[in-house]
């Protein structure tokens, strides 16, 4: 923490959600360190390869490279990452990771895997939006985050009973179409 | 929802790759986005389309300008829907598209309506979106609402406004600063995040007012902050205040230290760690202050959470660099971390132990590390190797076990960077610990017997050639070297031939045997190897007679190769085959670009290794050519140095003039580069009248005017002065540009016939001492320093007075002297109280100069400097001192 550093606010460089092959499920970058999509993908690949063999399923793990601190946690086929600069407080980054991890867990009601995550991608993106605003930590309490995203929506996450008849029909049609398409 | 759940179980296997976005395509989704325009909006369907658009963006797809505009306009239609979920997606989408300024206007009124909505979620998000996409003009309109939102009773709304304020402060500080009353109020909020955001914004508003920040900190440290994150912020601000207030050494108590210390007992680990870290980073922290922080970090070391262990060991690792003894208490906990699952933690633990370990624990530690090395990645191994090297420098008596360790790991598998780190370490130890030389060299010899990296083989061969002949029994290395000639590729063979020649030159008894070996190399299949063998046989007198190697040959073989390769390359390219041999002395020695990182063997032949140096031909070379094409300057001899252009006019004046100072042995040539920036003027007979009344040792010799200077096509004027030979004559020159102006008709481009005489005052120009020194790096400063000898050494001490920082003082002196910093010593580590900087260069008259600068802080800001100069001439050593004394 040198005195010349103007920005003393804790900040997050990116939040990543990758699958078990290292492909992007959801990602949000808040820093200019990776200006192009290929730079982002290269970073994701590097992060994935470096952490792949570690066991981050019970406790969040941590690593450091290229002047970045990366905290991460895995569940099923989903890999959660939060990156910050190397002078950031590791425990703050870890609290952001935990918020991201728990709020996705809350959203998917225990079925935390890639398929469910993709089906609820809209809500996951909204959760990221509620956790970090342009690099600044906005909120890290999972229940508050869930509340802010709003539950009385008409997204597929809503219970069937709350849908109107026409919506239920639309939903059924869609599932039928999907099963035909596969 | 029930349906997919059931389906999932039996589909899991054959449908592992199923994705709702399978086969998704940008064009199709953009078509789908037309549903946004339906008069009867289907919220659910619209949400899905937005999700698809977001998915595409998330995967790195980009929209063209028109596509983005279309999507944006379509999305704005969705404000008609009352569906909250859809509205939330609309907010997100607008932020992702980040519309241009003229498009923002479309959504402004919708967003402003939402900002005043009764629904909290609408208010919070509308603020965030609007502040993200707005520009200054709109901000003034919504300022009133934002101020209200800051003190909104809903914490989400307040946080949204505060965070937006933090962002807006970057672009519109004057507006955000007007909110400080509201922000101050919300610092007292009961909601944790509101307090955190309010504190962040309040500090940023006041950050340039030290007194206000200090007041803020002292009022809050009395315990008004509840949120852990806000507490972390407060700790950061506090340590900033401590840092700026300087050491209050009289009483021995640091202001606010008690606050930091009390945070070590906070209930949140995040705060405890932030406080511990802040204490360890205090300037000139004492061990009494440090101890409580070390104690909590020690507790973290045995935490079950990897993140905590990592944070603690990383901080302790940094502490160990400056206060190794304070960390020794943690050694037992640290040793158990060597086997930590997380390799980052294990590596940090090892390197910390290497820094804190005492001489007696070295052997035990090395045993533990040996087991550890086999299962970590190369990048971690390199860190360990570097730590071991510095340990060995600290405990030279332990070189045996450390050197053994290095040679053992050198034999194991590993990539190039790792091997290079080991070889570099061994080389450094050989240089610094004389006892370690012979074992170290033999380890290196063994390594090149089975080394797959050409670069490392040649480096080691070169090093052997320098160090090998000085050992007690040089002959035992010959076998290793000659084996290379049989077994390796051409590059290594050529390197081996050079090394053999060096042994021959340095050790007379070995000469006959070396000649036999070199003669065998004459039949090598590679040109370079044969050429080198022939060259060395001739220079060493390989006709059978054993003669003393004369000095010129020794210089050739062992002397540093101090011509930058780029310059040599251009020199050779310009050379036209003729009767006259290429003269290596004609190659300029000035380093134009920053030289590459110090390589221990830069004294190598240019044909050796690595990529050929690339880059533009040096400007020095271009100047030399330009000047020698002017007959009047042809007899001035070789150009010693050309300065960087110095501007003599302000930017954007009628005539732009800069000057390049060319220094010759007996002459100085000013090259005025002039540009006429007025389209309606044509300048003719342009001359520069130089007044040297403040530089009376110079006498004007020659002036070359410019015939005409049309608009926007630069021209040069040269003025030459004679000066005493080889002496750094200083002086100040005032300049006036004189010319005849002819008006130009801009439509026809024709100039009028009559011109008017006019003149234009230019800035003064000075010849300073740095104009007489050339930046020339040396590969090994220590060797160069010793071989220069203390004959013309001059030492003196200077007080530099109060300075911004040590680094600033070092830079000033380097720039003043105009010499090349060596071995990266121009970089001053932060917080250091003293620093040594090594400089080398060439003084006019081609005299080598080496300078050792020792800086020390004397009191809080005063910098003292000891300047030691060695050169080939005592007048030059004195001259360097004069430069500093007068500068």
The pLDDT tens digits for B457-487 are 999 999 998 888 888 888 899 999 999 988 8
Percent of chain B with pLDDT over 90: 28
Q: What is the DSSP secondary structure assignment for residue B36, as one 8-state letter?
A: G
pLDDT, average across residues B731-741: 87
Does the structure show a pLDDT above 50 at B10?
A: no
8 A C-beta contact, residue B424 and residue B600: yes
The pLDDT tens digits for B525-561 are 899 999 989 888 888 775 545 555 566 666 666 666 6
User: What per-residue confidence (pLDDT) applies to B12?
Assistant: 44
ipTM: 0.85
Instruction: Name which residue leads in pLDDT, B86 or B861.
Output: B86
Could you tell me how far CA B493 lies from the centroid of its own chain?
Answer: 36
The pLDDT tens digits for B103-150 are 888 898 899 999 999 999 999 999 999 999 887 788 888 899 999 999
Are B207 and A6 in contact (CB < 8 Å)?
A: yes
- What are the tokens at B716? 């040069």
Task: pLDDT band for B599, please (50, 70, 90 cuts).
Answer: very low
Q: Where are the beta strands (DSSP E) in B752-833?
A: 756-761, 765-767, 773-775, 794-802, 820-821
Does the structure show a pLDDT above 60 at A4?
A: no
Instruction: Name which residue leads in pLDDT, B573 or B87.
Output: B87
Q: Chain B within 8 Å of A139 (Cβ-Cβ)?
A: yes
Closest residue of chain B to A158, computed from CA coordinates: B1
Task: pLDDT band for B636, please (50, 70, 90 cuts).
Answer: confident
Task: pLDDT band for B595, please (50, 70, 90 cuts).
Answer: very low
8 A C-beta contact, residue B743 and residue B752: yes
User: What per-residue confidence (pLDDT) applies to B664?
Assistant: 83
Instruction: Name which residue leads in pLDDT, B800 or B589.
Output: B800
Q: Chain B within 8 Å of A168 (Cβ-Cβ)?
A: no
Q: Chain B within 8 Å of A106 (Cβ-Cβ)?
A: no
Closest C-alpha to B91, from B60, B120, B117, B127: B127
Among B344, B345, B379, B808, the strongest candidate for a mutation testing the A interface, having the largest count of A CBs within 10 A, is B344
Helices (H), B192-250: 192-206, 210-220, 228-245
Instruction: Name which residue leads in pLDDT, B336 or B628.
Output: B336
Instruction: Give the separation between CA A23 and CA A38, rounded to whole angstroms.
Output: 13
Instruction: Name which residue leads in pLDDT, B92 or A182.
Output: B92
Closest residue of chain A to B12, computed from CA coordinates: A115
Instruction: Please tell me which of the candidates B18, B43, B274 has its beta carbon nearest to residue A115.
Output: B18
**H or E stretch covering B431:** helix B416-432
Which stretch, B115-119, B354-358, B802-806, B859-863, has highest mean pLDDT? B115-119
Q: How far is B2 from chain A (nearest CA, A)?
A: 8
Does the structure show a pLDDT above 80 at B85?
A: yes
Instruction: Name which residue leads in pLDDT, A164 or B874.
Output: B874
pLDDT, average across residues A110-136: 92
Contacts of A109 in chain B (CB under 8 A): none
Are B20 and A119 in contact (CB < 8 Å)?
A: yes
Instruction: Name which residue leads in pLDDT, B564 or B683.
Output: B683
Q: How far is A74 from chain B (nearest CA, A)?
A: 14
User: What per-residue confidence (pLDDT) applies to B94?
Assistant: 93
Task: pLDDT band for B246, please (50, 70, 90 cuts).
Answer: low
Instruction: Give the separation between CA B125 and CA A133, rounded to whole angstroms.
Output: 11
Contacts of B84 in chain A (CB under 8 A): 150, 152-153
User: What per-residue confidence (pLDDT) applies to B160?
Assistant: 95
Are B270 and A89 in contact (CB < 8 Å)?
A: yes
Could you tell me how far CA A135 lies from the centroid of its own chain?
Answer: 14
Q: What is the DSSP string of chain A?
A: --TT----S-B--EEEEEETTS-EEEEEE-STTS-SHHHHHHHHHHHHHHHTTS--SSS-EEEEETTEEEEEEEETTEEEEEEEETTS-HHHHHHHHHHHHHHHHHHTTT--SHHHHHHTHHHHHHHHHHHEETTEE----HHHHHHHH-SSS-STTS-GGGS-HHHHHHHHHHHHHHHHH-
Task: pLDDT band for B4, please (50, 70, 90 cuts).
Answer: very low
Instruction: Please tell me which of the candidates B58, B89, B95 has its beta carbon nearest to residue A24.
Output: B58
Are B342 and A63 in contact (CB < 8 Å)?
A: yes
Are A62 and B121 in contact (CB < 8 Å)?
A: no
Instruction: Give the separation between CA B78 and CA B47, rounded to whole angstroms.
Output: 10
The pLDDT tens digits for B412-471 are 888 898 999 999 999 988 888 888 888 999 999 999 988 889 999 999 999 998 888 888
Q: How far is B114 from chain A (nearest CA, A)?
A: 16
8 A C-beta contact, residue B619 and residue B627: no
Q: Chain A 9-28, CB below 8 Å of chain B: which residues?
A: 9-10, 24, 26-27
User: What per-residue confidence (pLDDT) applies to B612?
Assistant: 35
User: What per-residue confidence (pLDDT) applies to A51?
Assistant: 92
The pLDDT tens digits for B814-871 are 888 888 887 777 777 767 778 888 888 888 877 888 888 888 887 777 888 888 888 8
User: What per-residue confidence (pLDDT) applies to B17?
Assistant: 62
Q: Chain B within 8 Å of A165 (Cβ-Cβ)?
A: no
Are B307 and A179 in contact (CB < 8 Å)?
A: no
Instruction: Give the separation between CA B642 and CA B670, rounded to whole angstroms.
Output: 10
Closest residue of chain B to A5, computed from CA coordinates: B240
Q: Chain A 41-100, CB below 8 Å of chain B: which residues?
A: 41, 54-55, 59-65, 71, 89-92, 94-95
Instruction: Name which residue leads in pLDDT, B872 or B582.
Output: B872
Could you tell me how far CA B459 lies from the centroid of its own chain?
Answer: 26
Are A136 and B278 in contact (CB < 8 Å)?
A: no
Mind spelling out the 3-state secondary structure of B162-175?
HHHHHHHHHHCHHH
Are B270 and A95 in contact (CB < 8 Å)?
A: yes
Tell me what the pLDDT averaged over chain B comes to: 83
Task: pLDDT band for B588, please (50, 70, 90 cuts).
Answer: low
Percent of chain A with pLDDT over 70: 80
Q: How far is A101 from chain B (nearest CA, A)?
A: 15
Percent of chain B with pLDDT over 70: 90
Task: pLDDT band for B726, please (50, 70, 90 cuts).
Answer: low
Are B314 and A64 in contact (CB < 8 Å)?
A: yes
Are B3 and A89 in contact (CB < 8 Å)?
A: no
Are A154 and B203 in contact (CB < 8 Å)?
A: no
Which stretch, B29-33, B535-539, B760-764, has highest mean pLDDT? B29-33
Helices (H), B433-541: 437-449, 454-467, 475-487, 490-506, 511-521, 527-539
User: What per-residue confidence (pLDDT) applies to A179?
Assistant: 66
Are A1 and B15 in contact (CB < 8 Å)?
A: no
Which stretch, B201-205, B365-369, B554-558, B666-670, has highest mean pLDDT? B201-205
Instruction: Give the separation between CA A55 and CA A60, rounded to whole angstroms.
Output: 9
User: What per-residue confidence (pLDDT) applies to B48?
Assistant: 92
For the stretch B423-426, contacts whose Cβ atoms lie closer than 8 Å and that sit 24 or more positions apart, written own/partner, are B423/B447, B423/B456, B423/B459, B423/B460, B424/B389, B424/B600, B425/B385, B425/B386, B425/B388, B425/B389, B425/B392
The pLDDT tens digits for B321-330 are 888 888 988 9
Q: Which residues pair with B669 in a beta bridge?
A: B662, B720
Closest residue of chain A to B2, computed from CA coordinates: A160
Are B92 and A160 in contact (CB < 8 Å)?
A: no
User: What per-residue confidence (pLDDT) applies to B596?
Assistant: 38
- What are the tokens at B173? 């500080």
Q: Say which range, A79-83, B318-322, B375-379, has the weakest mean pLDDT.
A: B375-379
User: What per-residue confidence (pLDDT) applies to A165?
Assistant: 62
Q: Chain B within 8 Å of A155 (Cβ-Cβ)?
A: yes
Which stretch, B81-95, B98-112, B239-253, B792-806, has highest mean pLDDT? B81-95
Rounding to the nearest 10 degrees, give the CA dihedral for residues B212, B218, B219, B225.
110
User: What per-residue confidence (pLDDT) applies to B58?
Assistant: 93
Instruction: Name which residue leads in pLDDT, B690 or B358.
Output: B690
Are B308 and A125 in contact (CB < 8 Å)?
A: no
Mind spelling out the 3-state secondary structure of B758-779?
EEEECCCEEECHHHHEEECCCC
Task: pLDDT band for B791, please (50, 70, 90 cuts).
Answer: confident
Q: How far is B274 from chain A (nearest CA, A)?
A: 7
Are B344 and A63 in contact (CB < 8 Å)?
A: yes
Q: How far is A89 from chain B (nearest CA, A)?
A: 7
Are B306 and A61 in contact (CB < 8 Å)?
A: yes
Contacts of A90 in chain B (CB under 8 A): 273, 307-308, 310-311, 314
Q: How far is A32 from chain B (nearest CA, A)?
A: 15
Instruction: Give the separation between CA B494 and CA B224, rounded to whole angstroms.
Output: 74
Domains of chain B: 209-245+254-283 (no CATH), 484-560 (no CATH), 625-767 (2.60.40.1480), 772-886 (3.30.310.10)
Closest residue of chain A to B242, computed from CA coordinates: A3
Q: How far is B451 from chain A (nearest CA, A)?
A: 28
- What are the tokens at A91? 């425990």
Q: Which residues pair with B110 in a beta bridge?
A: none
The CA distances from residue A105 to A100, A123, B121, B536, B586, in Å, are 9, 12, 22, 75, 73
pLDDT, average across residues B201-230: 89
Cα angle: B458, vertex B459, B460; to 5 degrees: 90
Are B193 and A2 in contact (CB < 8 Å)?
A: no
Are B58 and A125 in contact (CB < 8 Å)?
A: yes
Helix (H/G/I), strand (E/B), else coil: B593 = coil
Q: How far is A172 from chain B (nearest CA, A)?
A: 9
Chains A and B form CB pairs within 8 A to the count of: 180
């Amino acid at each position: 923490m040198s005195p010349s550093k103007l920005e003393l606010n804790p900040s997050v460089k990116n939040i990543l959600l990758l699958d078990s092959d290292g492909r992007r499920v959801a990602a949000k970058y808040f820093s200019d360190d990776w200006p192009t999509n290929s730079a982002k993908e290269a970073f994701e690949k590097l992060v994935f390869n470096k952490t792949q063999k570690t066991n981050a399923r019970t406790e969040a793990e941590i690593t450091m490279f290229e002047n970045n601190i990366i905290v991460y946690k895995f569940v099923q086929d989903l890999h959660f990452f939060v990156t910050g600069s190397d002078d950031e407080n590791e425990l703050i980054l870890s609290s952001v990771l935990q918020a991201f991890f728990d709020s996705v867990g809350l959203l998917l009601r225990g079925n935390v895997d890639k398929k469910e995550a993709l089906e609820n991608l809209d809500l996951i993106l909204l959760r990221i939006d509620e956790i970090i605003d342009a690099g600044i930590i906005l909120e890290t309490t999972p229940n508050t985050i869930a509340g802010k995203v709003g539950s009385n929506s008409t997204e597929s996450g809503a219970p069937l009973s709350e849908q109107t008849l026409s919506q239920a029909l639309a939903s059924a049609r869609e599932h039928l179409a999907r099963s035909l398409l596969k | 929802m029930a349906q997919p759940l059931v389906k999932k179980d039996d589909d899991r296997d054959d449908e592992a790759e199923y994705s709702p976005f399978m086969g998704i395509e940008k064009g199709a989704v953009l078509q789908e986005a037309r549903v946004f325009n339906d008069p009867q909006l289907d919220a659910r369907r619209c949400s899905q389309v937005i999700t698809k658009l977001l998915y595409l963006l998330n995967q790195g797809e980009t929209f063209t300008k028109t596509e983005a505009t279309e999507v944006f306009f379509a999305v704005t239609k969705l404000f008609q829907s009352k569906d909250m979920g859809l509205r939330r997606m609309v907010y997100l989408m607008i932020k992702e598209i980040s519309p241009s300024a003229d498009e923002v206007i479309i959504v402004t009124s919708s967003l402003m309506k939402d900002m005043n909505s009764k629904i909290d979620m609408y208010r919070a998000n509308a603020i965030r979106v609007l502040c993200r996409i707005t520009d200054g003009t709109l901000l003034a309109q919504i300022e009133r609402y934002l101020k209200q939102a800051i003190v909104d009773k809903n914490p989400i709304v307040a946080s949204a406004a505060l965070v937006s304020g933090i962002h807006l402060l970057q672009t519109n500080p004057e507006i955000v600063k007007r909110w400080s009353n509201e922000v101050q109020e919300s610092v007292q909020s009961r909601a944790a995040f509101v307090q955190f955001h309010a504190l962040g914004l309040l500090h940023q508003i006041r950050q340039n007012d030290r007194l206000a920040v200090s007041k803020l900190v002292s009022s809050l440290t009395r315990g008004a902050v509840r949120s852990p994150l806000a507490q972390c912020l407060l700790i950061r601000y506090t340590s900033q205040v401590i840092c700026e207030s300087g050491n209050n050494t009289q009483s021995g108590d640091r202001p606010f230290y008690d606050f930091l210390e009390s945070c070590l007992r906070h209930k949140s680990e995040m705060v405890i760690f932030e406080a511990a870290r802040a204490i360890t980073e205090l300037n000139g922290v004492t061990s009494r202050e440090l101890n409580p922080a070390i104690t909590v970090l020690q507790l973290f070391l045995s935490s079950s959470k990897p993140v905590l262990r990592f944070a603690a060991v990383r901080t302790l690792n940094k502490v160990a660099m400056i206060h190794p003894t304070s960390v020794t208490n943690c050694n037992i906990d640290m040793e158990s971390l060597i086997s930590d699952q997380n390799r980052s933690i294990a590596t940090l633990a090892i390197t910390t132990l290497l820094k804190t370990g005492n001489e007696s624990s070295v052997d035990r530690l090395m045993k533990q590390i040996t087991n550890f090395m086999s299962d970590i990645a190369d990048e971690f191994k390199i860190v360990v190797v570097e730590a071991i090297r510095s340990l060995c420098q600290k405990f030279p008596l332990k070189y045996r076990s450390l050197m053994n360790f290095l040679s053992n790991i050198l034999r194991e598998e590993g990539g190039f960077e790792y091997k290079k780190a080991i070889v570099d370490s061994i080389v450094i130890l050989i240089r610094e610990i004389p006892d370690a030389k012979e074992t170290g060299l033999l380890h290196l010899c063994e390594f090149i017997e089975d080394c797959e990296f050409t670069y490392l083989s040649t480096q080691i061969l070169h090093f052997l050639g320098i160090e090998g002949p000085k050992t007690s029994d040089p002959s035992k290395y010959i076998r290793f070297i000659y084996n290379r000639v049989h077994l390796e590729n051409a590059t290594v063979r050529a390197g081996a031939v050079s090394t053999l020649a060096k042994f021959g030159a340095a050790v007379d008894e070995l000469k006959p045997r070396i000649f036999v070996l070199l003669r065998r190399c004459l039949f090598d299949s590679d040109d370079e190897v044969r050429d080198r063998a022939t060259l060395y046989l001739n220079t060493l007198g390989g006709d059978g007679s054993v003669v003393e190697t004369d000095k010129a040959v020794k210089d050739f073989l062992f002397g540093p190769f101090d011509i930058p390769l780029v310059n040599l390359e251009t020199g050779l390219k310009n050379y036209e085959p003729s009767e006259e041999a290429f003269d290596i002395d004609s190659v300029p020695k000035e380093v134009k670009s920053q030289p590459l990182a110090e390589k221990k063997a830069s004294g190598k032949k240019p044909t050796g290794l690595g990529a050929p140096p690339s880059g533009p031909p040096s400007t020095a070379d271009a100047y030399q050519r330009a000047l020698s094409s002017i007959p009047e300057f042809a007899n001035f001899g070789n150009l010693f140095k050309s300065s960087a252009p110095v501007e003599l006019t302000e930017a954007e004046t009628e005539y732009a003039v800069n000057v390049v100072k060319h220094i010759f042995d007996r002459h100085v040539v000013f090259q005025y580069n002039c540009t006429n920036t007025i389209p309606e003027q044509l300048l003719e007979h342009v001359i520069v009248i130089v007044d040297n009344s403040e530089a009376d040792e110079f006498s004007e010799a020659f002036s070359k005017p410019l015939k005409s200077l049309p608009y926007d096509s630069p021209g040069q004027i040269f003025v030459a002065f004679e000066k005493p030979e080889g002496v750094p004559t200083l002086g100040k020159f005032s300049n006036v540009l004189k010319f005849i102006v002819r008006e130009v008709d801009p439509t026809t481009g024709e100039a009028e016939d009559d011109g008017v005489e006019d003149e234009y005052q230019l800035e003064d120009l000075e010849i300073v001492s740095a104009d007489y020194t050339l930046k020339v790096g040396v590969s090994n400063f220590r060797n160069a320093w010793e071989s220069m000898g203390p004959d013309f050494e001059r030492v003196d001490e200077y007080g530099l007075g109060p300075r911004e920082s040590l680094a600033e003082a070092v830079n000033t002196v380097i720039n003043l002297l105009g010499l090349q910093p060596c071995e990266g010593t121009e970089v001053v580590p932060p917080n250091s109280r003293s620093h040594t900087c090594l400089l080398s260069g060439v003084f006019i008259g081609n005299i080598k100069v080496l300078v050792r600068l020792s800086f020390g802080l004397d009191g809080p800001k005063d910098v003292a400097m000891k300047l030691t100069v060695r050169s080939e001439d005592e007048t030059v050593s004195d001259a360097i001192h004069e430069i500093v004394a007068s500068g």
